[in-house]
Amino acid sequence: MDKIRLNRMKFYGYHGVFAEEQKLGQRFQVDLTLELDLTEAASTDDLTKSIDYGDVYARVQKIVEGEPRQLLEAVADSITKELLSAYPILNQCTVVLIKPDPPIPGHYDSVSIEITRARAGNG
């Protein structure tokens, strides 16, 4: 399967379990792996046979910068559902949602959640 990757998209959102996180917000990063057949796009040089990165970014931005959620798992799952719904040619989507500098005891560079969802019938 062919893949499109969007790496380290940066957003500011209000997700987290602690009230301060939902009030003050924080930075988030998103890595995406989109799995689809790019044979026709490659042979025709036609964007309509692929997925527009700018449109993907806007859809992810709306979710990450949108409604506050407590769990990163919920945010990442919303992204996969949105993308699989929006792009019929997309077979599978992996989202890595990264929270730099999480407000937890100890020294952490970041925490992340990775979720993979496939279109029904594709595994």
CATH number at residue 112: 3.30.1130.10
Question: Is 37 inside any structural domain?
Answer: yes
Report residue 94 as tokens. Answer: 């992996």
Question: Is 123 inside any structural domain?
Answer: no
The rounded distance, in Å, linking the Cα atoms of 71 and 68 is 9
pLDDT of residue 122: 64
> What range does the domain containing 110 cover?
2-118
Question: Is 39 inside any structural domain?
Answer: yes
Q: Which amino acid is present at 29?
A: Q
Question: Is 8 inside any structural domain?
Answer: yes
The rounded distance, in Å, linking the Cα atoms of 81 and 119 is 9
Domain count within the chain: 1
Question: Is 64 inside any structural domain?
Answer: yes
Residue 106 has pLDDT above 70, yes or no: yes
The rounded distance, in Å, linking the Cα atoms of 20 and 26 is 10
Residue 67 three-state SS: coil
Report residue 69 as tokens. Answer: 């959620």
pLDDT of residue 88: 97
Contact predicate 96/114, CB 8 Å: yes
Question: What strands, in cross-sheet order, belong to the sheet with 110-118?
Answer: 2-13, 26-36, 92-100, 110-118
pTM for this prediction: 0.93
Q: Is 99 a catalytic residue?
A: yes
Catalytic residue (choose from 3, 10, 81, 99): 99
The rounded distance, in Å, linking the Cα atoms of 15 and 30 is 14
Per-residue pLDDT tens over the stretch 3-42 = 999 999 999 999 999 888 899 999 999 999 999 999 999 9
* Section 106-115 average pLDDT: 88
